[in-house]
Structure 1
């Protein structure tokens, strides 16, 4: 049976209610971008559906948490749905954890091109083009806190191309797409194809990264199906602000005067690679040399961040430096550890703490008696995950302070 060509856009996890977070300081010129990025990225999804001449837009859940987003999100979505309706583009929307079917206010009537899937069971729609059914669209909305029941998904008995839409899946890894030809999944912010045979299962990811951990491009997926039923997916970036982690490696003898030109080259490369977008960059400094000892929060790192923000963060589009991270351990001459000095004592104690995880790092003992056992004391307890980072920071701070004493003398 020949399959009529089909094209659709798959998107999910729009999270209109979530602005960008995870930075210590937001510059005035980027404040609006932090708030508006989720809406601007979402708008580009609808624009992609129009530009591509899509038959349908598949929304695989967590489009919006209405209790947090408010009326603006309703107005925005209705406007975008109507834009698609004007071009005969259907919308198939499976609810996720944050947008169950009953969360949408009944007074905000959805256009007739928008189809919501029921919760608790798989719903079916026939997608038509000029009165001819060209695909079967199946989907299920989540009951918040409950797993998705995949058992109701099945390929069309007459051979029609069958699409499934759901926010997550209970299927075993590697079998997520077995029941349909294309499974449009949500609930994962990173784009990923998790099954390719006999059917394809794909997470489109979120259209806009929200935190420094969500680096790189985010967007939606354009899916094309040819006459033989062959599926081709194409990523379209729609994010308007992009998080980047850029690694700069230093060599022994490097100084600030050599580091800044290296960063300048990287900035220009990033602007060329990611044009027309504001970039939020975390600089990760690795390698060797004395300069690494000085790169710590509250020290040289903060001074450099200020310079970089002044140099590159005021333009449009901006390259805003979020942080400088340097996790390289302290590098000092070995003979310093043998000195009968305060510096030698500190280095030996730090080395002992680094080598023996059994030695507790309980800072609560330094609290006054009135604060011991209080909620504030919880902040003084160092987890095993934070131990190494804390010791590196303490060693650099200690050596930095001692070097200041030497200068004053």
Structure 2
């Protein structure tokens, strides 16, 4: 079989809004707004530079059913660039951009094949020789909510010896962090006989199987704090024996980070400022000429705890660091998305646990609750019961994980120690 190369990308979410960001300058906001389009441009450039034979896009090209005209025009322009270089594109639509969503009446470039609401197959060829190299099957979402197992409709052409690629937007094996659209199992994909499953929908990059290859490339641009790290696509090389190797390429123009910074050993606000700035410089070095957004978790024990609990010190410090960061060129800027405080006072916890006092009893109960899952659940549920009378708050409480509840217990212990610290001889 003729060796060939293709790109697998998914979840472009063009013109997606970066929501939940506060204090953002106009320069930062404009760069974020452009970031999904910059990632698309990087995808096109990669395809040209890597001399790929074709590209597969596994759904959610756009970010919402009512796709912006701007997003559609920019996508059309990108496809026309690939058309100019003779690179075919095989694509499907997912739950964010189903076939029935309103779209502008724009010409689809001749190099783009959009799969319909039923599974169909086409032949992909080597760009240099024109020799057929792969059977590509795909199916688009007719509407935004597809609960059928679409994977069961994919069957290998028994008469063909070509490499078989399936393009599917689906939740494999019930990933709880994403809606269960087109749910299926790995066994469903194994039974199909396809060699490569080009999946979309899950934004975390992962290879579920090597043979056959079952691959989520993740989205091409992170858009919030749950989408940290490098984002991009896979370049897939298939050899004469139908074995494929995957190489990840970052496409994102903005990278998200979540970092922890301890106040252990810090004495002053100046110490904290310098440590935060040092952390931002480390991130700047990692980002390699990309804008970065970071959420910082302030942890540890120390004399700064009481000042941080007051709130105004951290707020003033955040605004000042943001002001200084805004002076950097946009491609070197590290923007603090949020700072969350989980510090504690300088209190000897072991001494408290052993002491016959209110705090001692509280810490002993908290320690037991952290080890006993059932007890921990009962304590938190009982404490929050009055709040559950409000329907909206009740919905939020129902989404709390066991880890969230244990963190509440830990926080309650620390707050109690901090509040009573000045009125005791402890610490």
TM over 0.5: yes
Deviation at 1:235, TM superposition (A): 0.9
Change (3 A) 1:124 1:307: same
Provide TM-score, normalisation by structure 2: 0.78
Match of 2:112 in 1: 114
Residue equivalent to 2:340:
325
Distance 2:223 2:160 in 1: 43
2:120 to 120, 123, 141: 123
Q: 1:395 to 1:158 in 2, by over 3 A?
A: closer
Query: 1:7: Cα distance to partner?
Result: 1.1
- Residue deviations 1:79-110, cap 9 Å, x none? 11111111111111122112223436483231
Q: What value does the CA root-mean-square deviation take over the aligned residues?
A: 3.6
What aligned pairs does 1:302-317 form with structure 2 within 5 A after superposition?
A: 302-316=315-329, 317=332
In the alignment, does 2:161 pair up with 1:146?
Answer: no
1:204 and 2:217 equivalent? yes
Where do 1:183-202 residues align within 5 Å?
183-197=197-211, 199-202=212-215
Map 1:200-349 → 2, pairs under 5 A: 200-252=213-265, 254-296=267-309, 298-316=311-329, 317-333=332-348
How big is the shift at 1:330?
4.9
**Alpha-carbon distance in 2 for matches of 1:390, 1:158:** 59
Q: How far off is 1:350 after superposition? A: 6.7
User: What residue is the counterpart of 2:163 in the other structure?
Assistant: 161
Whether the aligned pair in 1 keeps the contact of 2:60 and 2:94 (CA below 8 Å) is yes
Give me the whole-angstrom Cα distance separating, in 1, the residues matched to 2:309 and 2:301: 15
Change (3 A) 1:174 1:195: farther
Q: Structure 1 regions of 5+ residues with no counterpart? A: 366-371
Counterparts in 2 of 1:106 and 1:264: CA distance versus 1, 3 Å: closer
Distance 2:409 2:326 in 1: 32
Distance of 2:158 and 2:276 partners within structure 1? 56
Q: Of 177, 186, 189, which aligns to 1:176?
A: 189
Where does structure 2 lack aligned partners over 5 or more consecutive residues? 173-182, 370-374
Distance 1:51 1:377 in 2: 52
Distance 2:121 2:354 in 1: 75
Instruction: Tell me the SS of whatever aligns to 2:383.
Output: coil
* Counterpart position of 2:40: 42
Conservation of the 8 A alpha-carbon contact between 1:294 and 1:400: no
Partner SS state of residue 101, structure 1: coil
- Secondary structure of 1:73's match? helix
Residues 95-114 of structure 1 mapped to structure 2, 5 A cutoff? 95-103=93-101, 105=103, 107-114=105-112
Q: Which residue of 1 aligns with 2:18?
A: 20
Q: Which moved more, 1:22-31 or 1:214-223?
A: 22-31
Q: TM-score, normalised by structure 1?
A: 0.82
Question: Cα gap change, 1:292/1:213 in structure 2, threshold over 3 Å: closer, same or farther?
Answer: farther
